[in-house]
Structure 1
Amino acid sequence: MNTRVWMDSWQMECCGEPFDVGWEVSWAVVDPDREWLTKVLGAETAATVDGVEEHHGGGPEQVAPVSGTVTGISAVHCRFAPLPGESGHTRYPVPGSGTLTPLSSAVRWTSDRGDLRFVGYLVDLDAPAR
């Protein structure tokens, strides 16, 4: 069964373990924040995300661990800007600016690409049916 997991950049940078395509992994996941993922990934790709990796305790929405073989990894970068009409320093993902770059490995620190900020990994797993 194919499963798609989002991994936030800060989760990996904090205490994530690097992994490669072909590796077996087991992660606790929570339900995805589809509104945020839609801004970053676009509606079509965001709809394919089954869970969000969470290794800091996810609260009541936490589900059973997902285990499987990594079949794909994409680094996700996007632009950030203030909301239209806001003059504050808070920045938000710019819809439509997300890019996916296929990789063979996920490392703890992934560089930004110019004005595109690294925001996370989109990971495909071949996982046994639950």
Structure 2
Amino acid sequence: MTLTIWIDDWQIQCCGESFAPGDVVSWKLLEVDPEDYADVVGSERAREIDCREEHHGQGEGQDPTPVEVVSVTEVHCRYGVPPGAADTMNCPVPGTTVLVPVDEADGWAKARPDVRFAGYLVTARQVRGGDSDDVSAAELPRSPS
């Protein structure tokens, strides 16, 4: 069993470090509600997301989880003001997702026409004491709602 981890573009741009498949990294992982990502990655892919990586605030006092990166996919989508919205906040537009497998993640994806970089979907395996063990999302701290 593997984990699918969401990494926001701004989290890695602010203070994250580059990583690639095969790298072992230590991240603070918080369990998420996959539906929170349905507009960004599509409902089917959202159901695969187990947790998100957190650099700021949430997860304070939590030990980082060492994981081996298996694959990295850039996520791009269009943003716009939803029809009938009372405010002018841009939100992901469902159905506009573009997924791009990449060999390295540094937070700065190549620009793509009509969509904006939103983050990464990372497939990873937990690493404990040099041995690979499976981790379930039930073992991760919950993200505040």
TM-score class, shorter:
0.7 to 0.9
Q: Is the 8 A contact 2:35 2:47 kept in 1?
A: no
**Residue of structure 2 equivalent to 1:11:** 11
Which amino acid is 1:21 matched to? P
Q: Is the 8 A contact 2:71 2:124 kept in 1?
A: yes
What's the CA shift for 1:65? 3.2
Q: Is the 8 A contact 1:38 1:46 kept in 2?
A: yes
**Residue of structure 1 equivalent to 2:100:** 101
Which amino acid is 2:16 matched to? G
What's the CA shift for 1:50? 0.8
Q: Deviations over 1:83-126 (max 9, x none)?
A: 10247531110011111100010013223312200000000002
Using the aligned pairs only, state the percent identity.
Answer: 40
**Residue of structure 1 equivalent to 2:64:** 65
**Residue of structure 2 equivalent to 1:25:** 25
Q: State the secondary structure of the residue aligned to 1:45.
A: helix
Runs of 5+ unmatched residues, structure 1: none
Q: Structure 1 residue runs of 4+, over 4 Å off?
A: none
Residue correspondences, number: 129
Q: Deviations over 1:56-95 (max 9, x none)?
A: 12158x8653322111000000001111024753111001
**Residue of structure 2 equivalent to 1:54:** 54
Measure, in 2, the Cα distance between the counterparts of 1:34 and 1:64: 23
Which amino acid is 1:75 matched to? E
Runs of 5+ unmatched residues, structure 2: 127-132, 136-145
- TM-score, length-scaled by structure 2: 0.80
Which amino acid is 1:18 matched to? S
Q: Deviations over 1:15-61 (max 9, x none)?
A: 1100011100111011224333011111111111111000112158x
Which amino acid is 1:22 matched to? G
What's the CA shift for 1:6? 0.3
Q: Which moved more, 1:40-49 or 1:78-87?
A: 78-87
